[in-house]
Amino acid sequence: MQKTIVDETLFSRILDRVAHEIIEKHTDTSKLCIVGIKTRGVYLAQRLHERIVKFADINLPMGELDITFYRDDLSHVADQPQMKKTDIGFDINGKDVILVDDVLYTGRTVRCALDALTDYGRPAKIELMVMVDRGHRELPVKADFVGKNVPTADEDIIHVHLKEKDGDDKIVHNIGGQKDRIKA
């Protein structure tokens, strides 16, 4: 059974709230930068970037991070994984990096992102922002900024729809996971 848990209006409000939380926590924004994890994390990072720049009237560097070859399950993902472009056109040494992704689940994607990010330098601090935290961690990872906490069963699927990829903004909870998709 699929259930829309966040519609477009609430989606926008969540991003506004998180942008304000980031600004409130970072009174000194001179070291602040934002990096999105490919692919959906980049779109979310771009939207947060726009909001933070607007709300705080600051210059905020933004980058894109590809973690493809840092994954520990690469052979399960694809026979020939496609490397996407990492674009971090600024020095992250000594910066406060807000790392952005769509869904926090086991923590493995974040671990990969931390490995990839530190290949580009040594930030002063890395904080994690996710649109959805669904629990079920396998690694000791916790988000600093969360759009929405959604308790799930392990077999459930959370999908963050983004206009840039899906044509709409919403969050869908597929209760029961793949088996419900097959019946539909």
DSSP-derived secondary structure letter, 87: B
Distance CA(56)–CA(24), nearest Å, equals 10
**110 touches 104 (CB < 8 A):** yes
For the chain, how many residues are written?
184
pLDDT value at residue 69:
84
38 Cβ neighbours under 8 A, 6+ residues apart = 64, 65, 66, 67, 68, 84, 86
Distance CA(32)–CA(61), nearest Å, equals 8
Residue appearing with tokens 């070291």 = 31
Percent of the chain with pLDDT over 90: 84
Residue 41 in this model has a pLDDT that exceeds 80: yes
pLDDT value at residue 85:
80
Residue 176 has which token pair?
């029961």
pLDDT band at 184 (very low <50, low <70, confident <90, very high): very low
Distance CA(43)–CA(120), nearest Å, equals 21
Structural domains of the chain sorted by starting position, each given as residue range(s) with its CATH number in brackets: 8-71+84-152 (3.40.50.2020)
Which among 39, 6, 2 has a CA at the least distance from the CA of 168? Answer: 6
Distance CA(45)–CA(31), nearest Å, equals 17
Span 45-101, pLDDT tens digits = 999 999 999 999 999 999 999 998 887 655 444 555 556 688 999 999 999 999 999
